[in-house]
């Protein structure tokens, strides 16, 4: 059951999502914008199955022109909207900012000063609003320097207020998601999210602002390599952690108390048997991202290696490996091979000129048009999204 904050029901996509959530027990899905083909796969599924879903874009994936865009084909919020909206006649695809906030962007070099980082975060959110985004996730957990205890919450209130004011003045009917914790394999205590929601409640009382539609609380999910290593799917007790079957009811009680809804991040690679329990456990929404990017990478490798272009797969893998983007996904003591590492990082290079060359050569060598190759990849991604959608009981 999802209750929209007052005013949000005037957004047809939010209204459709809420109606879907309230029809029978199900879990809403957030699909990470890790590539153009993932975007297109999600839009097609939404239309073909008449299902609402949320496209979630981090600032590293998509950001405003002024802030340098992102690694997904240089897309800006405006261009993402232009790609999705004309194909979404049913108002089934919500455009959502995922982990918007200071120091969350793709900018290289030295970290921005606190003031600059907050300015950039605000500008990024305002660009989302201008593009017609439906939901903004404000995540102020990142701080490259020493932070005060209340730093993340202070920054969150500042951005919540700025975005709400801007949305109201611009006539945008949006919803918010909050959560200032980083992904974790553990089922952490609930003091931190409780403090956050309490502070937010006090601010909202003064500012007449809506409650967040979703709050991120750790439920014991963590993505590493191509596995979910969190306690949610562990069949045994993880030392020092609350078993999920005890932790989750507490989380649900907390979100009910504050009139919001649970959004679980890092849901990638959970076995279907666990996914199928999400609706019954009451988890309102869950995000999946890298799993789809890796599915596309595996699809590409299958085409390359299955059609006699193994040398191109080696070039692609080397290109991905050299980004070293796999480092953040690697488990300590990992026994992954360099090929595995390259696969974890494959989707980060889809928009590079070097990959464009490899892809062009592939098309020539295997006698596929660009559209035919994309169709193969999109169908593969759709199968992966459908696994989640079916397990979440969004479609029969």
Partner 1 sequence: MRRRVAIVILSRNLPHAVDRLVSTFRRYDLEETDIYVVEAGTDRDKLSEHHTTWASWDEAMREGLRPARGFNLGVMELIRSGRLQDYDFLFLVRATVQLDGPVVTRLLDQMEAHPQVGIISPCGETWPEQDLVGPDSLRYVWHINHHAWMLRRCFVDLIIDHQGTDHGPIFDGSNFRSYGTDTELIVKGYINDYATALSTACSLREDQELLKTRADLIRTDPYDINARKVFDEGFQWMRRKYGFTTRLQFQEYARLWYDRFFVLHPSLAPYRLLPEEAPVS
Nearer Cβ to partner 1, position 257 or 338? 257
DSSP character at residue 94: E
Give backbone dihedrals phi and psi of 94, rounded to 5 degrees, phi first: -90, 135
Give the start-end residues of each E strand in 119-250: 135-138, 175-178, 214-216, 223-224, 227-228
Taking the complex as a whole, the smallest distance from the CB of residue 230 to partner 1 amounts, in Å, to 15
> What are the tokens at 276?
């199928």
Taking the complex as a whole, the smallest distance from the CB of residue 96 to partner 1 amounts, in Å, to 22
Taking the complex as a whole, the smallest distance from the CB of residue 234 to partner 1 amounts, in Å, to 10
The Cβ-side half-sphere exposure at 327, using a 13 Å CA radius, reads 4
Nearer Cβ to partner 1, position 86 or 236? 236
The CA-atom distances, in angstroms, between 105 and each of 51, 62, 247 are 30, 9, 32
Nearer Cβ to partner 1, position 202 or 257? 257
Taking the complex as a whole, the smallest distance from the CB of residue 105 to partner 1 amounts, in Å, to 36
First CA to last CA across the chain, in angstroms? 18
Nearer Cβ to partner 1, position 159 or 283? 283
Of the candidates 126, 144, 146, 145, the one whose C-alpha atom is nearest the C-alpha of residue 136 is: 126
Taking the complex as a whole, the smallest distance from the CB of residue 277 to partner 1 amounts, in Å, to 5
Give backbone dihedrals phi and psi of 129, rounded to 5 degrees, phi first: -65, -45
> What are the tokens at 104?
């969350």
Residue 15 CA to residue 252 CA, distance in Å, equals: 22
Nearer Cβ to partner 1, position 1 or 395? 1
Binding site for partner 1 (CB under 8 A): 1, 25, 187, 189, 235-237, 239-243, 245-246, 249-250, 252-253, 256, 273-274, 276-277, 280-282
Nearer Cβ to partner 1, position 192 or 323? 192
Chain centroid to CA 151: how far? Answer: 24
Instruction: Answer whether 143's CB lies under 8 Å from 157's CB.
Output: no
- Scan for tokens 């290079």, then name that residue: 349
Taking the complex as a whole, the smallest distance from the CB of residue 57 to partner 1 amounts, in Å, to 29
Nearer Cβ to partner 1, position 280 or 360? 280
Taking the complex as a whole, the smallest distance from the CB of residue 5 to partner 1 amounts, in Å, to 17
Nearer Cβ to partner 1, position 61 or 187? 187
Cβ neighbours of residue 378 closer than 8 Å, sequence gap 6 or more: 37, 40, 41, 44
Nearer Cβ to partner 1, position 25 or 114? 25
* 278 CB-contact burial (10 Å; exposed 0-12 / middle 13-18 / buried 19+): buried
Cβ neighbours of residue 296 closer than 8 Å, sequence gap 6 or more: 34, 35, 37, 38, 346, 347, 350, 377, 380, 381
Taking the complex as a whole, the smallest distance from the CB of residue 119 to partner 1 amounts, in Å, to 40
Taking the complex as a whole, the smallest distance from the CB of residue 273 to partner 1 amounts, in Å, to 4
**Angle, vertex CA 216, rays to CA 189 and CA 210, nearest 5:** 120
H-helix or E-strand containing 358?
helix 353-366
Give backbone dihedrals phi and psi of 373, rounded to 5 degrees, phi first: -65, -45
Nearer Cβ to partner 1, position 175 or 270? 270
Taking the complex as a whole, the smallest distance from the CB of residue 193 to partner 1 amounts, in Å, to 16
């Amino acid at each position: 059951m999802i209750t929209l904050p007052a005013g949000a029901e005037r957004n047809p996509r939010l209204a459709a999502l809420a109606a879907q959530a309230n029809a029978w027990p199900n879990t809403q899905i957030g699909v990470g914008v890790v590539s153009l083909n993932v975007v297109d796969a999600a839009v097609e599924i939404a239309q073909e199955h008449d299902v609402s879903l949320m496209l979630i874009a981090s600032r590293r994936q998509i950001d405003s022109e002024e802030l340098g865009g992102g690694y997904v084909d240089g897309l800006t919020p405006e261009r993402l909207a232009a790609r999705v909206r004309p194909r979404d006649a049913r108002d089934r695809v919500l455009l959502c900012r995922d982990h918007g906030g200071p120091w969350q962007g793709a900018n290289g070099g030295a970290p921005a000063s606190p003031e600059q980082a907050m300015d950039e975060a605000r500008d990024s959110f305002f660009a989302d609003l201008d593009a017609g985004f439906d939901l903004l996730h404000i995540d102020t957990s990142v701080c490259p320097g020493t932070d005060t205890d209340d730093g993340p919450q202070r920054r969150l209130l500042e951005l919540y207020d700025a975005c709400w004011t801007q949305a109201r003045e611009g006539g945008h009917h949006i919803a918010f998601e909050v959560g200032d914790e980083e992904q974790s394999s553990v089922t952490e205590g609930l003091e931190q999210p409780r403090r956050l929601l309490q502070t937010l409640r006090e601010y909202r009382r003064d500012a007449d602002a809506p409650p967040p539609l979703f709050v991120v609380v750790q439920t014991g999910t963590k993505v590493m390599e191509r596995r979910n290593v969190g306690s949610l799917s562990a069949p045994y007790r993880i030392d020092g952690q609350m078993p999920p079957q005890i932790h989750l009811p507490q989380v649900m009680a907390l979100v009910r108390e504050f009139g919001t809804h649970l959004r679980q991040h890092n849901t990638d690679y959970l076995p279907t048997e666990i996914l199928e329990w999400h609706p019954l456990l009451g988890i309102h929404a869950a995000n999946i991202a890298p799993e789809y990017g890796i599915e596309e990478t595996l699809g590409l490798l299958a085409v390359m290696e299955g059609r006699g272009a193994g040398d191109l797969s080696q070039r692609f893998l080397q290109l991905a490996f050299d980004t070293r983007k796999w480092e953040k996904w690697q488990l300590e003591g990992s026994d992954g091979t360099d090929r595995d590492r390259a696969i974890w990082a494959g989707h980060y290079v889809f928009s590079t000129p070097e990959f464009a060359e490899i892809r062009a050569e592939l098309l020539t060598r295997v006698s596929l048009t660009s559209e035919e190759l994309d169709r193969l990849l999109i169908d593969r991604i759709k199968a992966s999204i459908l696994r989640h959608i079916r397990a979440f009981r969004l479609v029969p």
